[in-house]
Amino acid sequence: MPLIPIPYARRYTATVSGSARKRVTCFFCQASFEYEITGRASGKGTSALFLDNKGAKERSLAHARENLDAALQRSHAPVPCPLCGNYQPNMVDILRAKYGRNYDPNAYARNRAGTTDQAAWQKARTQNNEAAYRTFIEVWPHSGLTTEAKVKLYEIEGAKGEQAWPAARRRAIVIRILFTMTVFGAIAFLSWKFGRPY
């Protein structure tokens, strides 16, 4: 006899997103600065025997908000000190988890000191060359503009490949023609030598 599942409750899931301002005192220069962190969290609620559907929806939303608040309080984003350019020790751990344990994000602190990623991005776009975009990516690994820099790098490398493509294409065509001529020449020679047409 097959078992027939009987629904006994309705489950609700809510997802919320939000942001919070984090205040940090720099470990290196003792300057105080703020940055905004964003996050997303979800929560669940259950309506047993379908008796409290509205309440379950509200509970799932309340749990999502609580989870978001907790996540924003314990989260840190890698943002350098605007005065000295150094990442804080807990931020260094985040960047090392992403880029490898030997990565030293504070190696470029002097390049970041007293400027923003926006200003550095404008400078890289003005120079518009491979070296400028690579430097931007190394100096500003946390920036949202790093993705745009990688796209620009890809475009530059693609343009180099397109410039090299016609010569490579011509070389491939010449090799194919020579190979074809060699094969037909060998067939013609064998036909002449042994007197049988192929």
Q: What is the H or E stretch that residue 48 is in?
A: strand 32-48
Three-state DSSP at 124 gives helix
Q: What are the structure tokens assigned to 11, written together?
A: 């489950």
Query: Is residue 132 pLDDT above 70, yes or no?
Result: yes
Answer whether 56's CB lies under 8 Å from 10's CB. yes
Same domain (yes/no): 99, 179: no
Q: Looking at this protein, which amino acid is placed at residue 197? A: P
Do 95 and 37 have their domain in common? yes
Enclosing domain of residue 163: 115-198
pLDDT tens digit string along 151-164?
A: 988 888 876 665 65
Residue 2 lies in a domain: no
| Position 143 in a domain | yes
Residue 4, domain member (yes or no): no
User: pTM of the prediction?
Assistant: 0.64
Q: What confidence tens digit (pLDDT) does each residue in 55-110 have?
A: 889 999 999 999 999 999 998 889 999 999 999 999 999 989 988 889 898 999 99
| 117-127 helix and 130-139 helix, angle to the nearest 10 degrees | 170
Q: Are residues 85 and 104 in the same domain?
A: yes
Residues 78 and 37 reside in one and the same domain: yes
Q: pLDDT band for position 166 (50/70/90)?
A: low
Token digits for 72? 């924003």
pLDDT for the residue numbered 21: 94
pLDDT exceeds cutoff 70 at 197: no
Do 116 and 74 form a contact (C-beta atoms < 8 A)? no
Q: Are residues 110 and 122 in the same domain?
A: no
The C-alpha atoms of residue 93 and residue 39 are separated, in whole angstroms, by 19
Boundary of a domain, candidates 91, 114, 137: 114
Are 187 and 94 contained in the same domain?
no
The four Cα atoms 117, 120, 121, 124 give a dihedral, to 10 degrees, of -160
Top-confidence range, 14-18, 132-136, 185-189 = 14-18
